[in-house]
Structure 1
């Protein structure tokens, strides 16, 4: 079957893009591997009208609404490759089945790589977070730790006193200079330079190499991210270097450097947010539709 648009990634950005195209009565396919980035979190915040809801329920309801449109097709599978062919694109899934489309939207999100500290990964999305706006309020002005992964963690440490009493664990990632130390003191941030041995306990107790245990109500850390699709570059997409990793470069309406290929969501911006991903997807979907209408080459 030849589709107008294949969307790779069926999370918030991909479904938002699909909704615009479905309402334009275009024949679309969403290929989704089921690896929603916020699958570890019990609640989603900062998305107007959905604040505090289970992100899985938001996604499930969104899919149900999308699939009511008769031109929407859904495939639970991982896209193996995507290539340009005459008249459009081919996407290989599963054991090599080829699907074809006139346009392509990349909404496959990113992979997070956390600092290699025992106990950190298991608490990711539960008591270890990356976004203060998404999870800071629920810590109720409690004890907040920042596990440094690079000098960029200064930004986290300077922000988080608005959400609670903040301790920066430098963990050998960097040493604050005199100016940085002055900024941290001005914000009331405590600095711990002893390396972190592990994270344990019901919430996020930080065990240091000297044996001390510092109880925390929540931790924040910056991950390194990567786009899980080497073929995005092969399609002709270019990348930008963000503070936490590479992401696909797009113009204001989410068109990539590869003609006919659009990108949206976390794979195409330096900041992760459900609300921003939904907006990104709407832009990509409408831009892909305009491309189908007016761009014939």
Structure 2
């Protein structure tokens, strides 16, 4: 973000949004220990709920002050279009399951969606202190330094990843996910699968990995990463190569050079 861009209203909103996710991140960091463990489903769900509540208590009021007229997307597992106007799409503890197990891989995210298009986002990783930001038309950044996707165009040399969108995926999504992993194992150099999605998308935007795909459309897990990758010079499409939207059934974020091979591999799935 440069000084001459400071008059853009969205950049001013982004600066405030960044402060909000970092404040919520400090709450989660205070609650974190590498000794954290859960012993059963009941304790797992209770720990997740407590983290969400603690972080949201800081994040939501801050974002509502920044953009009082924006509606709030309450459904962390919501999918599909939101409709006209502005919406805050957030995850106050993305990768919460990693946090409660004392592991890395969690963040606080906030994305302003306008007329079903993400226009600005801030993703804060409290353990490392890193913050990814992007605003539509202004590029993507890591701690204020511009980032860009890799220059790869050969799928056989690519590092790719996917993620399970949520627990209890529908059988047809599980089948497509399984088939897609098999297909990419055949074509890509290395294939990884991990959660959360945003923390698989940020490395694509930064050029550390080359592609991410997912079946199962959870808004809060995709909108931040979609904007980061687009603003870092990447492409975000569905399995047929059409521009990704909240109504899409599949999600692919990658480099311009790899997009044809990724869509070819995934569009051929049964």
TM-score normalized with structure 2 length:
0.23
| Greater relative CO, 1 or 2 (CA 8 Å, sep 6+) | 1
- Greater helix fraction, Structure 1 or Structure 2: 2
Higher Cα Rg, which structure: 1
